[in-house]
């Protein structure tokens, strides 16, 4: 069991090293949806999205500044003069550097105005990111790395598309796009066109998660 988990994590790290971006994003080009999942037909509405993590709310710069602290340099590689790196991303470690948090701001947005949240297990390399006093990066709905698919679906519901690939991963993809936002009103409140949430599992353990708003 532990060997399989280690293998899955190693494969994820190899993808990250090549792409320089989240392995979840990279997988969109290679994973295939499983048509057997009834939710894949998009006949349902995703009405229970996650919109915050450790108190940082999507598109709410004030909440991010409170949690991160305006005096902390969000990255060791400041490139834009906004505290983020050249990709508009803020990077942090959890306690003991076990998990890596990446917060993305879209071009033109204010400092700390976060649109995408990504959490994954840290690889063996050390990048000099600041460390936050958090044991595990957990969302408002209690989602954290290491939990099972059943626990995840219990919190978010069954309105997802399931993907799988030859590497043995399972990826659950949730999405809200206009005009199917009648229940949450999330898109209209944020003035954004698409919300998505993707959860990558291996051996029924959550290895990486990413949620937020696509760039308009």
Average pLDDT, the chain: 80
State pLDDT tens for residues 14-26. Answer: 344 433 444 575 5
**Per-residue model confidence as pLDDT tens digits over 14-59:** 344 433 444 575 554 445 555 334 344 456 889 889 999 999 999 9
pLDDT at residue number 168: 80
Helix (H) or strand (E) holding 190: helix 186-190
* Residue 67, H or E segment: helix 61-68
Residue 183: which pLDDT band, with cuts at 50, 70 and 90? Answer: confident
Confidence of residue 8 (pLDDT cuts 50, 70, 90): low
**Prediction pTM value:** 0.81
Per-residue DSSP letter, 135: S
What does the alpha-carbon distance between residue 201 and residue 24 come to, in Å, rounded to a whole number? Answer: 10
What Rg do the C-alpha atoms of the chain give, in angstroms? 17
Place of tokens 């959550």: 206
Distances (CA, A) of 127 to 53, 62, 76, 104: 22, 26, 8, 17
- b (16+ CB within 10 A) / e for 15-51: bbeeeeebbbebbeeebeeeeeeebeeeeeebeebbb
């Amino acid at each position: 069991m532990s060997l399989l988990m280690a293998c899955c994590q190693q494969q994820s790290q190899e993808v990250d090293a090549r792409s320089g971006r989240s392995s979840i994003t990279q997988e969109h080009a290679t994973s295939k949806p499983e048509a057997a999942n009834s939710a894949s037909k998009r006949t349902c509405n995703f009405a229970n999205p996650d919109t915050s993590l450790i108190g940082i709310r999507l598109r709410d710069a004030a909440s991010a500044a409170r949690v991160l602290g305006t005096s902390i340099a969000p990255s060791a590689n400041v490139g834009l003069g906004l505290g983020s790196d050249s990709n508009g991303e803020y990077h942090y470690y959890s306690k003991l550097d076990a998990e890596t948090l990446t917060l993305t701001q879209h071009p033109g947005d204010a400092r700390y105005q976060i649109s995408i949240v990504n959490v994954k297990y840290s690889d063996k390399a050390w990048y000099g990111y600041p460390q936050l006093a958090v044991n595990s990066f957990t969302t408002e709905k209690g989602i954290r790395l290491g939990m099972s698919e059943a626990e995840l679906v219990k919190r978010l519901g069954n309105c997802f598309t399931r993907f799988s690939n030859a590497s043995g991963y399972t990826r659950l993809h949730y999405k809200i796009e206009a005009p199917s936002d009648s229940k949450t009103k999330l898109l209209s409140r944020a003035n954004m066109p698409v919300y998505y949430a993707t959860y990558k599992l291996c051996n029924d353990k959550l290895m990486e998660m990413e949620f937020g708003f696509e760039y308009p």
